[in-house]
């Protein structure tokens, strides 16, 4: 059976060139970068090399990169750490309603500690209005956090426009760029942000390593206190194996991004057209144009997304219904709810996220198998009666 992996928003296959760079750190080197001997020195040098590679991907300087263990950790460090460091100026933050769970829940945690959170809504395409974000800012606002793109519906937000509006204010601006960094051009100076989260499992590196960009001069309170690793901003012995991989993957992403997207965007558009042409009562979620290169998120009425996923898997196809972090929770998507999608239509959404390994045959296979799955499920579903 043909195997088609179209869940690159959840995890990407490790590029063999990245694996090759990591292998010596699995099989040969093991020094602790904090140690004062040549084994340690070697590890320290490798981490600093990776820090440069990651910094170069987003137009930052190496000292502005803090390695973490996941995009969720980066988001928590940004939201909780910047807020804690700025608490004496006020206790208010602004976020969007379509943020990743790690931003939403971190904000909720702050709220339980007496902070006020303003959640700015989105339009039917999941687009945030820069004007509304700026209007939500108050004198006691310490932090604004709006994601660069939503990995679920693919909409790319007006980050630079928000940053421009915040420019003369003493408010830190964070963006969750997990879905964009390594996928589309991301430059921290062009975006104008003070903090930016990225994760390497989004660009062909294994899971377990990520980073937070923190603009020089931006104050932060660590989540993990202890040793002096990462400039005292994140204690703990470094995941060298993962960090070496992230560096290598960042360098490849910077070099090949344009070429990758030249291939992926037409595949995305072919899949969108194919699915909308063959399936009744189906609609594209998210912005029609300002969307991630590999994102195909469609809403199929009268069916449960989970049933489609299981049947797609039986046909060799890996897809998702929304964010990987919430898929096993089987909750209705807060992103679709914020877009105003009626509750009864939320559950039938499917996310196909294409990557650099996909091709036209993959796309045509998905188009071919999904139609009959939908027909079959609708014939059995009480929702369709």
> Which of 213, 352 has the CB closer to a second copy?
352
* Least spacing, CB of residue 318 vs a second copy, in Å: 4
> Which of 192, 245 has the CB closer to a second copy?
245
Residues 187-206 that bind a second copy (CB under 8 A): 199, 201, 206
Residues 74-93 that bind a second copy (CB under 8 A): 75-76
Exposed (0-12), middle (13-18) or buried (19+): which is 316, by Cβ within 10 Å? middle
Residues 339-378 that bind a second copy (CB under 8 A): none
Among 235, 265, 276, 367, binds a second copy (CB under 8 A): 235
First to last CA, the chain: 33
* Least spacing, CB of residue 307 vs a second copy, in Å: 10
> Which of 277, 313 has the CB closer to a second copy?
313
* Least spacing, CB of residue 305 vs a second copy, in Å: 9
Q: How many residues bind a second copy (CB under 8 A)?
A: 80
Q: Which two tokens stand for residue 170?
A: 């003493």
> Which of 3, 361 has the CB closer to a second copy?
3
> Which of 327, 358 has the CB closer to a second copy?
327
- For the chain, the residue count is 385
Per CB under 8 A, 176 contacts a second copy: no
> Which of 293, 355 has the CB closer to a second copy?
355
* Least spacing, CB of residue 131 vs a second copy, in Å: 29
Residues 215-234 that bind a second copy (CB under 8 A): 221, 223-229
Select the span of 95-103, 118-126, 147-155, 339-347 touching a second copy (CB under 8 A).
95-103
**Residue 205 among the catalytic residues:** no
Among 116, 125, 184, 207, binds a second copy (CB under 8 A): 207
Enumerate long-range contacts of 231-236, CB under 8 Å, 24 or more apart: 231/63, 231/66, 233/66, 233/81, 234/66, 234/67, 234/68, 234/77
* Least spacing, CB of residue 288 vs a second copy, in Å: 26
Per-residue x/- marks for a second copy, 306-335, CB under 8 A? Answer: x--xx-xx---xxxxx-xxxxxxx------
Task: Give the Å distances, CA to CA, from 13 to 1, 352, 359.
Answer: 19, 15, 15
Residues 239-298 that bind a second copy (CB under 8 A): 239-242
> Which of 154, 305 has the CB closer to a second copy?
305
* Least spacing, CB of residue 171 vs a second copy, in Å: 22
- The closest of 273, 277, 270, 346 to 305, measured between CA atoms, is 346
Select the span of 4-12, 54-62, 269-277, 372-380 touching a second copy (CB under 8 A).
4-12
Among 59, 62, 208, 371, binds a second copy (CB under 8 A): 208
Per-residue x/- marks for a second copy, 24-43, CB under 8 A? Answer: -xxx--xxx-xxxxxxx---
Give the active site residue among 13, 160, 325, 383. 325
* Least spacing, CB of residue 234 vs a second copy, in Å: 9
Hey, which residues are catalytic here? 325
């Amino acid at each position: 059976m043909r195997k088609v992996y179209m869940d690159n928003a959840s995890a990407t296959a490790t590029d063999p060139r990245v694996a090759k760079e990591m292998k010596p750190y699995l099989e040969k080197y093991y020094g602790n970068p904090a140690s004062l001997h040549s084994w340690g020195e070697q590890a320290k040098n490798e981490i600093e090399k990776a820090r440069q590679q990651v910094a170069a991907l987003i137009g930052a300087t190496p000292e502005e990169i803090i390695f973490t263990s996941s995009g969720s950790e980066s988001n928590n460090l940004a939201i909780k750490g910047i807020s804690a460091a700025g608490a004496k100026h006020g206790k208010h933050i602004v976020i969007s309603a379509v943020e990743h769970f790690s931003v939403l829940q971190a904000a909720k945690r702050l709220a339980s500690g007496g902070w006020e959170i303003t959640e700015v809504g989105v339009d039917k395409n999941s687009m945030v209005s820069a004007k509304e974000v700026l209007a939500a800012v108050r004198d006691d606002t310490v932090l604004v956090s709006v994601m660069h793109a939503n990995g679920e519906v693919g909409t790319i937000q007006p980050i630079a426009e928000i940053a421009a509006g915040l420019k003369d204010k003493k408010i830190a601006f964070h963006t969750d760029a997990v879905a964009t960094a390594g996928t589309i051009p991301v430059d921290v100076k062009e975006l104008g942000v003070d903090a930016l989260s990225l994760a390497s499992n989004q660009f062909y590196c294994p899971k377990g390593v990520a980073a937070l960009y923190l603009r020089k001069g931006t104050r932060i309170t660590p989540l993990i206190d202890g040793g002096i690793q990462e400039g005292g901003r994140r204690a703990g012995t470094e995941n060298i194996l993962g960090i070496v991989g992230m560096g290598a993957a960042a360098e490849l992403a910077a070099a090949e991004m344009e070429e990758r997207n030249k291939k992926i965007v037409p595949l995305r558009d072919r899949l969108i057209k194919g699915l909308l042409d063959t399936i009744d009562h189906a609609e594209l979620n998210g912005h029609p144009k300002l969307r991630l290169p590999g994102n195909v998120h469609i809403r199929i009425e009268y069916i449960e997304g989970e049933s489609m996923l299981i049947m797609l898997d039986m046909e060799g196809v890996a897809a998702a219904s929304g964010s990987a972090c919430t898929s096993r929770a089987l909750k209705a998507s807060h992103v679709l709810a914020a877009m105003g999608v009626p509750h009864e239509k939320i559950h039938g959404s499917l996310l196909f996220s294409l990557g650099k390994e996909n091709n036209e045959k993959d796309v045509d296979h998905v188009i071919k198998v999904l139609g009959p799955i939908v027909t079959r499920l609708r014939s059995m579903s009480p929702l369709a009666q």
